Structure 1
Amino acid sequence: MDWYSLRVLSGREKKVRDSLLLEAEEGEIADKIEDVLVPSENVVEMRGGKKVVKNKVFFPGYILVKMELDKESRYFVENISGIVSFVGPKNQPEALKEAEVKRILGEVESMDGREVIGTRFFKGEPVKIVDGPFVDFTGLVQEVNAEKQKVTVLISVFGRSTPVELEYLQVEHEK
């Protein structure tokens, strides 16, 4: 069995995955479909001062399916609501390379259970501190550590510039 990429209606990836699995069971081709994957991650965003966890799809408009491809299974898959087509040249399904699949699956596993902050900060950008002992202070981003999801902000305390390390959720872009 090989992995194939399917073009689906954007924003409906999970519904299409569920439909594909359900209809495969009912249509008796479940033995030809081994796995259906929608690579995604949990992203934490600040909305109205509150943390909101949102599931973000890595490849909007695409899902991955591990299946045995023949005329019958291809026809079956392409006629499921929400599926546009297989990805490949001249509308011919092309199996994904093993290295591509391992990279994608590796990204999914590395993100498993970890929440990523959706906000990006840049060096020199003005920010406002919204949490912690320096709440309501403003300053400039001096350093960004995306891996730890922290920023170092220069704030003015008693007339002196002081670097403070804060988590992404403790600061917001200054308006």
Structure 2
Amino acid sequence: MSWYALFVRTGKEDEVCENLKKLYEFFSPKDTYEVIVPKRGLYEYHEGKRAYVLRILFPSYVLIGTDQIVKLYEIMKNHKSSHIIRMLKNDSYFQEIDRKEIGLIIDLINQEGVIGISDVLVEEEKVNIIDGPLIHYKGIIKKINKRKGRAKIQVDFLNKQCFVDIAVRCLERHGEERIKNQISFC
């Protein structure tokens, strides 16, 4: 399956995604396709309280996975939405998202399209990922902010390096030798 990006009005990504799913289901039910708006979990502080919120990973983009892009594009064109700005193209054809780029994104997101929380153990300057979507992707972590519970990761998208924050749960090892293997939450 090849992946493509649709540029839409900011804040309308989920609405466009749901409308496209309905259109494709109605006009092309036998074709295989996926329409997603990847999101990331993030800890934010509002009025002194920490809250877990979801933010769009790439604002203004809806991702479409299909082997029938021309057919799906025709369906979109014939049922134009005021929120869709354009389909990304290179030269005169649709710009396919690089397999490595989309592979990382698909691996990181869960069934709901969200990059969830990873548990990390930070000892001195070393980061160990204990659990979560980052478990196999230590190399993309560029910075950890233990106080805010965030990791800055590098995700390549449309041949550009993007640095985004995602939620992490920072764990600490107790210092005493007899309880050295116990882990507690920050």
Class of the TM-score when normalised by the shorter of the 2 chains: 0.5 to 0.7
Q: Which runs of 5+ in 2 are unaligned?
A: 120-143, 152-167, 171-184
Q: TM-score scaled to structure 2, two decimals?
A: 0.56
Match of residue 59 from structure 2: 60
- Are 1:3 and 1:64, in contact at CA under 8 Å, matched by a contact in 2? yes
Q: CA RMSD in A?
A: 3.2
- Are 2:7 and 2:62, in contact at CA under 8 Å, matched by a contact in 1? yes
Match of residue 92 from structure 1: 93
**Following the alignment from structure 1 to structure 2, what is the Cα–Cα distance between the partners of residues 106 and 70?**
22
1:99-150, CA deviations, whole angstroms, 9 ceiling, x for partnerless residues?
11111212324x644289xxxxxxxxxxxxxxxxxxxxxxxxxx95455666
**Following the alignment from structure 2 to structure 1, what is the Cα–Cα distance between the partners of residues 80 and 9?**
11
Match of residue 31 from structure 1: 30
Larger Rg: 1
Q: Which runs of 5+ in 1 are unaligned?
A: 117-142, 151-165, 168-175
Match of 1:31, SS state, is coil
Number of paired residues? Answer: 127
Match of residue 105 from structure 2: 104
Greater percentage in strand = 2
Match of 1:10, SS state, is coil
CA positional deviation for 1:23: 1.6
Q: TM-score scaled to structure 1, two decimals?
A: 0.59
CA positional deviation for 1:91: 5.6
In structure 1, give the amino acid aligned to 2:49.
K
CA positional deviation for 1:71: 4.0
Match of residue 22 from structure 2: 22
Match of residue 114 from structure 1: 117
